[in-house]
Amino acid sequence: MSLPKISHPQIIIEIPSSKKKVIFRPFLVKEEKLLLMAKASEDETDILLSIKQVVNNCAIDQLDVNSLSLFDLEYIFIQLRAYSVNDQVQVSYKDNEDEKLYDFDINLKDIKVVFPEKVNNVIKINEAAGLVLKYPTSSLYEDKEFLSSGSDSFFQLIVRCMDKIYDGDEVFECSGYSKKDLEIYLEDLDINTFEKIREFMVSQPRLSYIIKYKNSLGNDRTIELTTLSDFFTLR
């Protein structure tokens, strides 16, 4: 006789970039083992891959995890962590004014994704031509060529964020061209256009949780938490 199946509650999480609601289950002991093994390796790539695997395992609805933007993936993981383990975590930060350590309790369900204002992903080269950019996706975690690109990583990141190129009525899907073709195209751009691309790349949506407190000197202080490492000891 086979052992009984364990039923689990369903969680609805809204993906920040698309506003699409997706059904997940909580992560279980097998997912917790993945995270612990990755943390024990002390390798950042292993940790990020395990987070991606956890989100993929827990998705009940069809979800292409590779196409998720990095901030979407991080947000989903945090919400799964809140429902699966505990929605409260404690973080400690040293105040650089009074040099004292302060502890804060954070409700993970209150974490938001902040989208930058007035940043356009359509980059005009001239009146007729330009390119369309997309946010970096979680597929970067398994892109060995990108991970080993060293000092050229920012340029290589841009190549992977190129979505479409247009010239008049013609539209060219970047996925249909080699990375070398896209590199040559980028290198042929004028500096002003490249600066617009840089502005988009450095103005990515981000996780955000604001902590406000008064330090021992009586001064009002503000901390903004923006990365997974700010909320969990991942490294």
Closest CA to 226 of 138, 77, 111, 104: 111
Query: Quick one: pLDDT band at residue 140, thresholds 50, 70, 90?
Result: confident
Distance CA(97)–CA(222), nearest Å, equals 12
Closest CA to 104 of 115, 95, 116: 95
Range from 34-43, 98-107, 173-182, 226-235 carrying the lowest mean pLDDT:
226-235
DSSP 30-71: HHHHHHHHHHHHT-HHHHHHHHHHHHHHHB-S---GGGSBHH
Query: pLDDT digits over 5-47, tens only?
Result: 888 899 999 999 999 999 999 999 999 898 888 888 777 778 8
Closest CA to 78 of 148, 9, 11: 11
Range from 6-10, 97-101, 229-233 carrying the lowest mean pLDDT:
229-233
* Assigned token pair, 91: 């973080």
Closest CA to 223 of 93, 80, 44: 93
Query: pLDDT digits over 196-207, tens only?
Result: 999 999 999 999
C-alpha count within 13 angstroms, C-beta hemisphere, residue 218: 0
pTM, full prediction = 0.89
